[in-house]
Chain A
Amino acid sequence: MPTEQLPERPDGVRRLENVVIRFAGDSGDGMQLTGDRFGAQAAAVGNDVATLPNYPAEIRAPSGTVAGVSSYQLHIADHDITTPGDQPDVLIAMNPAALRANVTELRPGGVIILDTDAFTVMGLEKAGYDVDPLTDGSLDAYQTFAVNLTEFASAAVADHNLKRKDAARTKNMYALGLVSWMFSQSIDDTIEYLRKRFAAKPDVMNANIAALRAGWYYGETTEAFANVYEVKPAPLPAGTYRHMKGNKGIAYGLVAAAHQAGMPLFLGAYPITPASEVLHELSVLASNDVRSFQAEDEIAAIGAAIGGSYAGMLGVTVTSGPGMALKSEAIGLAVIMELPLVIVNVQRGGPSTGLPTKTEQSDLLQALYGRHGEAPLPVIATRSPADGFDSAMEAARIALAYRTPVILLSDSYIANGSEPWRVPELDELPDIGIELATEPNAVDEAGNPVFLPYARDPATLARPLAIPGTPGLTHRIGGLEKADLTGAVSYDPDNHDLMIRTRQSKIDGVDVPLLEVDDPSGPPGSGADVLVIGWGSTWGPIGAACRQVRAQGLKVAQAHLRHLAPLPANLASLLSEYHTVLVPEMNLGQLAGHLRRETLIDTVGYNQTRGMPFRVSELASVITRVIQGIADDDTPEKAVGAKVVGDVTARLAAAKSGGTA
């Protein structure tokens, strides 16, 4: 539990400001569901919640092994939080492998609840333990509660006609009940959830509810647990909230966008981790006029989406990095045909199959430049699970207004993570509808009305869209270069040059909000010396790290880019106001290179590609060292530590001496 504990209340319940809990078990133990339910319960009592699921790429890695461990970490707090926490305070380990894989990350003095029944000779052997950690003293630094979870859960469900193996599987609900009791959470919502989920299987439903209740009562009646904890509600702005996962947020943002555009939503998709869930979410929404189509491959998925767009739908495709590579030729076609299209890339570790279930931000350059020819398009990135909704709407707005494919970048961390999301009122949502062409827009030399599919709106450079079925506006589009205005095939050199420049100008002119800087110490130029700038899912860790650094009395500014192409117009002038611009990224410096190319400003990169989000403490330490390096001319190398921050020291030294690194 957190270091500063509040005084014990008279009723024996200890109040916590925040706590980080990690459920860990075999990938078949239902840890994702358990964690998800605990998060929903915490959200329902008004805590701020941020979650981090972590699971193996294999559906069922060998059971009982460290490779097969699946975990779900939650950070719940009585204040605004943006990350799932660095170190667990509480670890629930359903078997020896789960203990072994996670215990080193547990805070010293933290709580371990483990299932004694899984600590058999074979279980220990599979996990790679030579000696039983329950007896060798290796857990002495923690408060360990060894409970016969499997046995107790099985006994609790003995009346429900389950096979022995199925009865044992209710141990996750037993553990959830126990931990819910420990943190003063009501299990009523989870009981309701189980009733719905297993409505078709009454025995399973009743057994799970019985196990959940039994776990709760075990906590209540046993005297093994010294403390009960409580995290008070976080003060959130008024409104209706729900627990939102990143993938679901994007799906709902797309649905709302189609609604606000007055068009049906059409999704063409091919299953791929970690994006499939967006396909799943949209597939159940036919009643909201969402049409989803599972194609034969990634190329067909985007092909169908483009076809849908041409036919008057809001066309969408969702994928992850390898799928993006396959779609690139079709994206180029959508660029030259100038059709609206939203392409969602839920990034994962690459290259190639890489780390399919882990997070990374390494597809930025692919999104910006990964097509043949001059094929510009807008790129935006979502920053958190609750931001998925807004960023998806923004992607659709740009796609429709400018008749262009838009790439929306998310990542595995956002996709699977969750946090409270304020449900918007419908009248808060922007109207993003566009007018389709219904009549000829020009006359030919003979005075006959004609339709020019590549005549443009002078403000946006968007071309008119006429969908099939519209009389008098028949026209053909395709991948060959278009003549200006008519859209006819043209091999004219000057026309090609004009069209390339026109398409670039259209994207350059997309209306993008100015970048804002968060710096309590003052506006750019008179506040902090160091600006930390990021994009995508690093928003949470960077923001939390900046708050930690400020709490130490240091000044630091934070800015976060939603729009990566085109970049905000004030970007270069803002960056130039700071002595040092620090760019933490889960790649080897893709945004840093992009910024250098677009602004000629050299930045300091802090990069890692471990498949996991940045730790707040790690970033706070880096930021602190960068600030101190500036303050103390002699010590940046020692202070920063080349091992941790790479070539930061050399760059800082060069910056201090007026040169460039």
Chain B
Amino acid sequence: MSPTGETDGPARAEEPAGAAATSRRAPTVADFTTGNAVGWCPGCGDHAILSTLRGLLPALGVPPENTVVVSGIGCSSRMPYYLDTYGIHSIHGRAPSFATGISINRPDLSVWVITGDGDALSIGGNHLIHALRRNVNLKILLFNNHIYGLTKGQFSPASKVGTVSPSSPHGSLDNPFNPIALALGAGATFVARTLDGDRRHLTATLTAAAAHKGAALVEIRQGCPTFSPIPRQARDAGANPAAADPASPELGPIRLSPGLPIVFGPNDQWGIIRDPSTGELAVGNGGDARVVVHDPGTQNSTYAYALSRLGETALAEAPIGVYRSVSQPSFDQLFQERLATARPGGRGELRSLLTGADSWVVAG
């Protein structure tokens, strides 16, 4: 959304004929596209994410009417208006709670949460960690532009210390959240980080998230072209493979690939190595035998956590890719199973419930 203009057009007649026909043929991009004019600033990464979602959702095999997109408040949270599914543009920070009420009651639905760094990490921090802890079957896309865009550029809980903004003219004082570390700490079963500007990586990451049974948290790193642009050379993964320093922002974030050693830089000269005595990760020589082979399936999240912290120690920012993907029963599944076992023969008898075991009869 543009911070000043509000240009969501009328939601009229959003391809109703097409929508009605979706149950009989494979859904298309058009089936997931509303007629609403998209209101984000030119150059905003949200456009790319929208475009990716419109391309991705039809491929998942879930019809639009079985897809629900729930958002909070912020630029990113305008997303539901642009996707022709069911959706709620809710209140600030609370999207996971609405989405939880939908998802656990309706296992036939695919429920997505669209949120931002202010929405998810500040006002909605509590709901985010509890949705992750419970492992509710939600796909949570956290658009992290490290700034409050809709309210015109104040520092956010993802902003680096020293961020100068209208509400921090002399630089912000507080330490930022690392969304990946936070999600891992909350016990999230699927945690990934990707870039708005890398369509292939974004598509692959969101596809993996969609396939995950349980809560999936995907941090989508972006800049805000209006209030917090990312320097051009650091926008993409492997932006400048010839960078001379492993901590150089010019290098761009390094990629994680399951089963492959984590090496990067010119001729893969650097690698992520583990100190066997402490479990700490550090940057070392790419040829070192201790270079870590990436495994997001590790139950213990200590490794993934150490990986997520590299952006604050040895690298300019945290790597991108899937940090953790482990299988645990979703809250939705457990909730439905409990309901099913409680009513093996269908609904209990209302009259016997109301009468109870301690009633008495007064004769007329």
**A-side interface residues toward B, CB under 8 Å?**
40, 43-44, 46, 189, 193, 233, 236-243, 252, 255-256, 259, 264, 266, 268, 285-289, 291, 293, 295-297, 299-313, 315, 329-330, 333, 337, 423-426, 440, 444, 446, 448-451, 468-480, 483, 486-491
- Whether the pair B99, A307 counts as a contact (CB closer than 8 A) is yes
Residue of A with least CB distance to B336:
A291
- Whether the pair B360, A307 counts as a contact (CB closer than 8 A) is no
- Whether the pair A468, B86 counts as a contact (CB closer than 8 A) is yes
From A268, A423, A449, A471, B355 is in contact (CB under 8 Å) with: A423
* Inter-chain contact total with CB atoms closer than 8 Å: 247
Given A255-B353, A310-B88, A474-B19: A469 and B362 interface contact (C-beta under 8 Å): no
Residue of A with least CB distance to B84:
A474
**B-side interface residues toward A, CB under 8 Å?**
6, 8-14, 16-17, 19-20, 22-23, 34, 36, 63-66, 68-71, 73, 80-81, 84-91, 94, 96-106, 108-109, 126-127, 130, 335, 338-339, 342-343, 347-348, 350-351, 353-356, 358-364
> Which has the most chain A C-beta neighbours within 10 Å: B65, B69, B97?
B97
Given A44-B358, A473-B65, A486-B10: A295 and B105 interface contact (C-beta under 8 Å): no
Residues of B within 8 A of A297 (CB): 126
> Which has the most chain A C-beta neighbours within 10 Å: B63, B88, B91, B354?
B354
- Whether the pair B359, A241 counts as a contact (CB closer than 8 A) is yes
- Whether the pair A488, B8 counts as a contact (CB closer than 8 A) is yes
Query: What is the CB-to-nearest-CB distance from B342 to chain A, in angstroms, rounded to a whole number?
Result: 3
Whole-angstrom distance between the alpha carbons of A100 and B362 in the complex?
40
Residues of A within 8 A of B348 (CB): 285, 287-289
Given A266-B105, A450-B16: A241 and B89 interface contact (C-beta under 8 Å): no
Given A449-B20, A469-B66: A479 and B86 interface contact (C-beta under 8 Å): no
Residues of A within 8 A of B343 (CB): 286-289
Given A259-B347, A296-B127: A238 and B363 interface contact (C-beta under 8 Å): yes
Whole-angstrom distance between the alpha carbons of A479 and B80 in the complex?
12
> Which has the most chain A C-beta neighbours within 10 Å: B63, B80, B358, B362?
B362
Residues of A within 8 A of B347 (CB): 259, 287-289
Query: What is the CB-to-nearest-CB distance from B359 to chain A, in angstroms, rounded to a whole number?
Result: 4
- Whether the pair A488, B9 counts as a contact (CB closer than 8 A) is yes
Whole-angstrom distance between the alpha carbons of A238 and B90 in the complex?
50
Residue of A with least CB distance to B347:
A289
- Whether the pair A303, B16 counts as a contact (CB closer than 8 A) is no
Query: What is the CB-to-nearest-CB distance from B119 to chain A, in angstroms, rounded to a whole number?
Result: 13
Query: What is the CB-to-nearest-CB distance from A440 to chain B, in angstroms, rounded to a whole number?
Result: 6
Whole-angstrom distance between the alpha carbons of A307 and B103 in the complex?
8
Residue of B with least CB distance to A389:
B354
Residues of B within 8 A of A264 (CB): 105
Given A240-B360, A300-B126, A424-B354: A469 and B65 interface contact (C-beta under 8 Å): yes
Known: A304-B104, A306-B98, A307-B103. 4 other contacts (CB 8 A): A303-B90, A450-B12, A471-B20, A487-B11
Whole-angstrom distance between the alpha carbons of A436 and B25 in the complex?
25
Whole-angstrom distance between the alpha carbons of A486 and B130 in the complex?
35
Whole-angstrom distance between the alpha carbons of A293 and B99 in the complex?
13
Which 4 pairs across A and B sit closest by C-beta, in order of nearness? A307-B101, A478-B89, A303-B97, A238-B364
Whole-angstrom distance between the alpha carbons of A293 and B10 in the complex?
36
> Which has the most chain B C-beta neighbours within 10 Å: A236, A266, A315, A450?
A450
Query: What is the CB-to-nearest-CB distance from B182 to chain A, in angstroms, rounded to a whole number?
Result: 15
Whole-angstrom distance between the alpha carbons of A607 and B306 in the complex?
62
